[in-house]
Amino acid sequence: MTLFNKKFIFFSFILLLINLHAKSQENHKILINNIINAMHSYKTVSYDYSRVVRQPSVGISNDFQGKIFFSFTKNLLGSKFIFENDLTKDIYDGNTACFLDKTTKELSIRENDIKALMQYAFLKNSYYTLRNFFPRIIERKDIKIVTRDTSILSKDCFVLEFNIPNTVINNLGELQSVPEENHLYTILIDKKLFLPIDVFRKNLVNDDYVHCKFNNIILDQVRDNAEFRYESYLGEYHEVKTFQF
């Protein structure tokens, strides 16, 4: 084999790898576009939310769950919501946020600003979070996404994995700087609906992780507007001073 032929084969191989990488990235972009279109095609979504936090590096270990309903609309947050579990209920009608304590039967009004609203625990890695996040990365060439297929409890899924050093996804779906941290995100997407059902965030420098699941998803459910207004609960609950995070 001549030197020319060897060089030709070598450069052909390099070109093949470049083309394969470009095609892979294009396939990832198509998949994310399908996810974005699916998540924005529904006016409302409700599901059972569960979150497991294990952060031994800072001594944190807790489990959190409840039922959540999002109604996407134009307001400060981009959504109205109702979150409820056995102990509490949170409602937001786009103007007023309200917290209901089922044990004490107390009702408190929360601050209506974006910094306060983003503190809600049930927003962490939620459907709302990802609905805002995916459009932000569709054109980001610096975020390398790996995809594969899997099956969870007889449900066919896409697996999306990506790592963004020194960065996490905050509750609003924004990329937030966290110096000296390194996290790997693994997101399961239902192949039939193109909707997320599981989010796992693993800290690559220690054993910390956060795992969120969305079960029993219901799409385009209609809820009475009265359920979002705190006045509707004043017969059962008594109002106390404004709640602050």
> Is 218 or 140 the better-scoring residue by pLDDT?
218
Q: Which of 28, 70, 24, 37 is nearest to 195 (CA)?
A: 37
**pLDDT classification of 245: cutoffs 50, 70, 90:** very low
Q: How far is CA 78 from the centre of its chain?
A: 14
Sign of CA dihedral 151, 190, 83, 211: positive
Please give the pLDDT value at position 3: 52
Counting runs of H as helices and runs of E as strands, what totals does the chain give?
3, 14
**pLDDT classification of 211: cutoffs 50, 70, 90:** very high
Question: What is the tens place of the pLDDT at every residue in 45-74?
Answer: 999 999 999 999 999 999 999 999 999 998
Q: What is the DSSP letter of 206?
A: S
The CATH fold assigned to 36-239 is outer membrane lipoprotein receptor (LolB), chain A (2.50.20)
Please give the pLDDT value at position 141: 79
Is residue 52 packed enough to be buried (19+ CB in 10 Å), middle (13-18) or exposed (0-12)?
Answer: middle
Please give the pLDDT value at position 83: 97
Q: Other C-beta atoms within 10 Å of 232: how many?
A: 15
Extents of the domains making up the chain: 36-239
Give yes or no for residue 99 having a pLDDT over 60. Answer: yes
Question: What is the tens place of the pLDDT at every residue in 71-84?
Answer: 999 888 999 999 99
| CA gap 20, 81 in Å, rounded | 43
Percent over 90 (pLDDT), the chain: 69
Predicted TM-score of the model (pTM): 0.85
